[in-house]
């Protein structure tokens, strides 16, 4: 297929684009490089540095079979401080993509949605039918796009898949290029723990030790970025309609369990400082991944140890 990947210079987008190329698809990456890196665009992809609102120019130039849309602002904390930027970029920007797709007859989209659409839910594991009550502007913008996709799919015959990612981790290491997390502001647990273990002199803050969980720290469902990317390729083959699909391992690990895995893999202690809860962090988020199996034939294959191992190798490759 001829596929446009928005955000293909970012962490997840670059892994998706690399896997598409490896599977024989023809890939065009669109990225404005506001947070992505030009050297993360995989070899073999055509690269257009532009805003998603200009995607019409790309779709007018070459026939396209599908758009995989990952370009977004994605920091929960920042979204609370700057909601306007999130609504404009994530919602208005995505509507521009959907309208350009209609204008140029592009029949399918795979959208990077999020577990943040659910908010603080009591039902665990979380199913796609669980109530969506986002607790941040970031989650609200992802839910707004999901709602728009339902209407667009229904009325305009689009094949649309919203992939609701849980906690993505790990890296893709190849002979030619390495693809991993390189965020200007790093907020995620595994890269922060590796940074602290790696002797950077940074002490990692452990946010909250009084949650109603077995060891008092938050429980999350971690998924390897390589497994996650595979689901995007499978999502290119669904029937028309809007399909919402959770992507997670289906099991949870506490922050302390992740820190133990980091110590195991690196052989180094992780300097931590216990800190108060971080605003907006729910105690437990674990995915039901039954629908991913039923609809896409997708199953996770890489465990937490592999995620930490690959993230550590990527971290070391950047030194």
- Which residues of the shown chain bind ligand UDP in the complex (CB under 6 A)? 167, 187-189, 192, 204-207, 218, 220, 255, 278, 281
Q: How far is the CB of 222 from ligand UDP (least distance, A)?
A: 9
Asked whether 71 and 7 are in contact (CB, 8 A), the reply is: yes
| Nearest residue (CB) to ligand UDP, 28 versus 266 | 266
> Residue 104 or residue 205: which is nearer to ligand UDP going by CB?
205
- State which residue, 104 or 188, has the beta carbon closest to ligand UDP: 188
Residue 168 C-beta: closest distance to ligand UDP, Å: 9
* Token code pair at residue 211: 């949650």
Among residues 42 and 250, whose Cβ is nearest to ligand UDP?
250
The Cβ of residue 199 has, within 10 Å, a number of other Cβ atoms equal to: 9
Q: How far is the CB of 319 from ligand UDP (least distance, A)?
A: 20
Joined together, the tokens standing for residue 69 give: 């849309």
What distances in angstroms separate CA 70 from CA 162, 243, 319, one per listed residue? 11, 17, 27
Q: In the complex with ligand UDP, which residue's Cβ is closer, 2 or 277?
A: 277
Lookup: tokens for 143:
């839910």
Does 253 qualify as catalytic in the annotation? no
Catalytic residue of the set 11, 138, 152, 253? 138
According to DSSP H, which parts of the chain are helical? 11-22, 55-61, 76-81, 83-86, 93-103, 137-156, 189-197, 225-234, 255-266, 290-291, 304-317
Name the minimum Å distance from CB 220 to ligand UDP: 5
CB 60, min distance to ligand UDP, A: 37
Cβ-count burial of 139 within 10 angstroms (0-12 exposed, 13-18 middle, 19+ buried)? buried
Closest by CA position to 11, among listed 188, 244, 195, 258: 188
Torsion of CA 20, 233, 141, 46, to 10 degrees: 20
Residue nearest to ligand UDP (CB): 218
Q: Helix (H, G, I), strand (E, B), or coil: what is residue 41?
A: coil
Positions annotated as catalytic residues are: 138
């Amino acid at each position: 297929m001829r596929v446009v990947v928005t955000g293909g210079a970012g962490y997840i987008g670059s892994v998706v684009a690399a896997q598409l190329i490896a599977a024989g698809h023809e890939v065009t990456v669109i990225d404005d490089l506001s947070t992505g890196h030009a050297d993360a665009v995989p070899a073999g992809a055509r690269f257009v540095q532009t805003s998603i609102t200009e995607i019409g120019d790309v779709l007018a130039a070459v026939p396209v079979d599908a758009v995989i849309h990952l370009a977004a602002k994605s920091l929960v904390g920042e979204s609370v401080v700057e909601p306007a930027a999130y609504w404009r970029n994530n919602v208005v920007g995505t509507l521009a993509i959907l309208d350009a797709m209609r204008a140029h007859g592009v029949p399918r989209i795979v959208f990077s949605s999020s577990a943040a659409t659910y908010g603080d839910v009591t039902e665990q594991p979380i199913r796609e039918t669980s109530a969506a009550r986002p607790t941040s502007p970031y989650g609200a913008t992802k839910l707004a796009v999901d709602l728009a996709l339902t209407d667009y799919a229904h009325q305009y015959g689009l094949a649309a898949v919203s992939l609701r990612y849980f906690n993505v981790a790990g890296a893709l290491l190849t002979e030619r290029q390495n693809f991993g997390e390189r965020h200007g502001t790093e907020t995620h647990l595994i890269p922060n723990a590796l940074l602290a273990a790696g002797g950077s002199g940074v002490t990692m803050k452990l946010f909250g030790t009084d949650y109603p969980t077995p060891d008092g720290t938050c429980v999350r469902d971690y998924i390897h970025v390589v497994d996650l990317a595979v689901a995007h390729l499978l999502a290119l083959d669904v029937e028309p309609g809007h399909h919402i699909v959770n992507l997670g391992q289906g099991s949870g690990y506490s922050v302390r369990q992740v820190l133990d895995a980091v110590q195991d893999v690196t052989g180094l202690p992780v300097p931590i400082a216990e800190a108060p809860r971080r605003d907006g962090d729910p105690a437990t988020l674990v995915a039901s991944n039954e629908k991913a199996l039923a609809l896409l034939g997708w199953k996770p294959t890489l465990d937490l140890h592999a995620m930490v191992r690959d993230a550590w190798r990527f971290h070391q490759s950047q030194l």
